[in-house]
Amino acid sequence: MDHFDYRDGVLHAEDVPLPAIAQAVGTPVYVYARATLTRHARVFRDALAILPRVKIAFAVKSNPNLAVLRVLAAEGYGADVVSGGELERALAAGMAADGIVFSGVGKTEAEMRRALEAGIGQFNLESEEEGLELAALAASMGTVAPAALRVNPDVDAGTHGKISTGKAENKFGVPFDRAGAIYARLAETPGIAMRGLALHIGSQLAKLEPLEQAFTKVGGLMRAIRAGGHAVTHMDLGGGVGVPYREGEVFPQPADYAAMVERVTRDWDVTLMFEPGRVITGNTGVLVTRVVRVKEGASHPWVVVDAAMNDLARPALYDAWHDFAAVTPDGERFTANIVGPICESSDTFAMARDIDRVTRGDLAVFRTAGAYGATMANTYNSRPLVPEVMVDEGRWAVVADRIDPATILAAERVPDFLKG
C-alpha cells in the first residue's frame, strides 16, 4: 500500500497534486509520502512484536535522506550504516548512538575511531583482520568495542547476482567453516567484546526459504560457539525482504517473515537484530519526470523523459522494472520505449512497454522509487543532482535541494600551471 492515488484524474502524493510540486520545484524530482513511510515502519515493527527481544536498524544506504531518517527515528528505529557519512547522517537525524550498527567490509581506522567516540551499539566485523584492528584501536582509546562477526553462510538468495551477498564467492563476511575459530580468537582479544553473529544474504528476496536456510545454518554455529564456552547474546539477521515493483508480483509480508523467524529462533535466547531497508522505503517514493518529446522509432516510439540513469540507476544497473504512469492519464495507452537524455544506450527505463499515452510536456512517474533511488544519483553528463520532496498530508517541503552544474563547477579549479 502507498499514498499515491488519482483524484479527479490527477495523481496525488497524499493530499498534494504532483503537478503542484513539479511546477514549484521542477523535474525530475523524488517525492516521498510520509504516511507510507510511517505505515511501513510500523507494520514491520509490529510484525516483529511476536519475538521476545528485538532491535531494528534501518539500512541507511537504501534512503539516507535526513527527513526520512528523522521519521524512522521517531518510530524507534536505529540505523545500519556502512560509512562514516551514513553514521553522521543517522546521528544528525536523532537516532540513538547505541542503536547504530556499523557494517561493511572497508571500515577505515578514521571511521572506526569516530564510531567508538560516538558510542555506537555494534560493529559487524567482516574479517578477523578487521576485528584485530578494531580491538587495538579501542584499547588505545581506553574503551571496548561491542561486535558481532558477520558470517557468510554460502546460501543462494535467489536474487539478482549484483545484490546477492551470502554466497561463498561474495566478498562479505567470513567463511562459514572458519567462523567458529575466528569468533573464539576474537573473544579472547582485549579491546573487543564479541556478542554475536551477523549475516545478510542479499536484497529483494522473493521467497523466505533462503533466509530460513541461512538462519538455521547460523543458528547451528551459534550453538557450537556457546558449547565452546563463548557468549552469544545477539544475532543480527540482516534484511533482504523484497517489495513488488510491478503489478501482480507477490512478496512475503512482514507477518510471514516474522512467523518464520519466530519458528527458527524460538530457543536461541538472544536479542534479534534486523536491518530492513527497501521493505520500509521502496513504496514510499516516486520519481516525477516530464516528457521532453516522443520520437519516432523503428518498431515503437521513444518516449524521452527528463529523468535519466543518473537520477534512477536501477534499470541501467540491474535491468530493474519500475512502473511508469502518467500523472494526468487520458485513458489511452500505447506501446513505447522509455529513455532518458544521457548519451548511453543503457539510459533506458523500459522497452516495448504498454504504458499510458503521453506526449511532449506531460508529467509521469516511476513508481516504487523510494529505495536505492536518490541515494544512487550522480551528476554524469554534468547533469544536476536530483532534488527530494516530502509530503505530509496537505503540506510538502523540499528535503534535499537540486544541486545544479554551476554549483559543482564552482567547486573545481584550474591550477596555476595550466594558466597561460
Extract the C-alpha cell encoding 11. Answer: 495523481
Domain assignment present for residue 51? The answer is: yes
Q: Are residues 274 and 288 in the same domain?
A: no
**End position of a domain, from candidates 278, 294, 323:** 278
Q: Which residue numbers are catalytic?
A: 343
Q: Are residues 27 and 62 in the same domain?
A: no
Let me know: does 47 contact 255? Beta carbons within 8 Å. yes
Domain assignment present for residue 61? The answer is: yes
The 10s digit of each residue's pLDDT in 298-340 is 999 999 999 999 999 999 999 999 999 999 999 999 999 999 9
The whole-chain average pLDDT of the chain stands at 95
**End position of a domain, from candidates 253, 278, 303:** 278
Domain assignment present for residue 420? The answer is: no
Q: Are residues 186 and 208 in the same domain?
A: yes
Is the pLDDT reported for residue 159 higher than 70?
no
The number of folded domains in the chain is 2
Range of the domain at 319: 4-32+282-410
pLDDT over 70 percentage in the chain: 96
Domain assignment present for residue 417? The answer is: no
Domain assignment present for residue 418? The answer is: no
Q: Are residues 140 and 57 in the same domain?
A: yes
Q: pLDDT grade, residue 341 (50/70/90)?
A: very high
Q: Are residues 221 and 201 in the same domain?
A: yes
Q: Long-range contacts for 329-336 (Cβ within 8 Å, ≥24 apart)? A: 329/6, 329/9, 329/356, 329/357, 330/356, 330/357, 332/356, 332/357, 333/357, 334/301, 335/300, 336/294, 336/297, 336/300, 336/301, 336/302, 336/303
Q: Are residues 261 and 121 in the same domain?
A: yes
Question: Regarding predicted confidence, which is higher, 202 or 193?
Answer: 193
Q: Are residues 24 and 47 in the same domain?
A: no
Domain assignment present for residue 419? The answer is: no
> Could you tell me which residues are beta bridge partners of residue 287?
30, 366
Mean pLDDT confidence for 117-129: 97
Q: Are residues 237 and 341 in the same domain?
A: no
Q: Are residues 77 and 24 in the same domain?
A: no
**Strands (DSSP E) found in 28-138:** 29-33, 54-59, 78-81, 100-102, 122-125
**End position of a domain, from candidates 257, 278, 299:** 278
Is the pLDDT reported for residue 265 higher than 70?
yes
Domain of 354, CATH number, reads 2.40.37.10
Q: Are residues 141 and 106 in the same domain?
A: yes
Contacts (Cβ under 8 Å, ≥6 apart) of 266: none
Query: Grid coordinates 525530475 are at which residue?
Result: 28
pLDDT over 90 percentage in the chain: 89
The 10s digit of each residue's pLDDT in 50-99 is 999 999 999 999 999 999 999 999 999 999 999 999 999 999 999 999 99
Domain of 75, CATH number, reads 3.20.20.10
Q: Are residues 49 and 131 in the same domain?
A: yes
Q: pLDDT grade, residue 31 (50/70/90)?
A: very high
Domain assignment present for residue 312? The answer is: yes
Q: Are residues 27 and 40 in the same domain?
A: no
